[in-house]
Structure 1
Amino acid sequence: MKLKDPILNILKKNYEPSAMIEQKFGRYDLSIKTDIEGRPILLFMGKKDENGFVRGERYARTLKFNSAGSIIKDHWEHKGKATP
């Protein structure tokens, strides 16, 4: 399942550094893990269960930088089911 533009637009924003951000997107619950710069690096997308965990799909972000610190690769990859 490839991520579509509306969700990618949410994931392009910077958030609180080293945090787990939770929000709703349409019928989905999203949990976004950020790195020390506040960039999203993990996404859990699905429905929250009674324990507060998102059951659905898990995505990971690959970020590669050049020597000047500019991003040369930014890619989201589907990692499978999101279950605790």
Structure 2
Amino acid sequence: MPLGPKLEKLLSKVYAPQERTDTKFMGKDITYVTNEHGEPVTLFIGKRRDDGSITGERYVRRIVRKPGTDEILKSHWELRGKVGS
């Protein structure tokens, strides 16, 4: 299942480096983790359990940078499968 444009817009912003953010988006629980540049690189989406973990799907972002810079040439999110049970 591809991510929708509204969620991709949220995930294209820059946040605090190496942080975990837990929130809700369009009725689903989401958690995303940022890299050293503050770009979300791991996403969990589904239903949050009492312990804070999510049962649902995990996505990982691939980022290709311009050589010698931090500028992003392209990026995309890959579904890596189910999490929790």
TM-score of the superposed pair, with normalisation by structure 2: 0.91
What whole-Å deviation, never above 9, does each CA across 1:11-43 have from its counterpart, x for those lacking one? Answer: 011111101011111210110000011000000
Match of 2:67 in 1: 67
SS at match of 1:76: strand
What whole-Å deviation, never above 9, does each CA across 1:27-77 have from its counterpart, x for those lacking one? Answer: 101100000110000000001012110110100000011224232220100
Report the AA paired with residue 65 of structure 2.
F
Asked if residue 76 in structure 1 is aligned to residue 77 in structure 2, the reply is yes
Structure 2 Cα separation of the partners of residues 51 and 43 of structure 1 = 17
Report the AA paired with residue 55 of structure 2.
R
Match of 2:48 in 1: 48
1:7: Cα distance to partner? 0.5
Match of 1:14 in 2: 14
SS at match of 1:38: coil
Report the AA paired with residue 58 of structure 2.
R
RMSD over aligned Cα atoms: 1.3
SS at match of 1:31: strand
Report the AA paired with residue 33 of structure 2.
K
SS at match of 2:6: helix
Structure 1 Cα separation of the partners of residues 9 and 66 of structure 2 = 23
Number of residue pairs matched by the alignment: 84
| Amino-acid identity (%) | 35
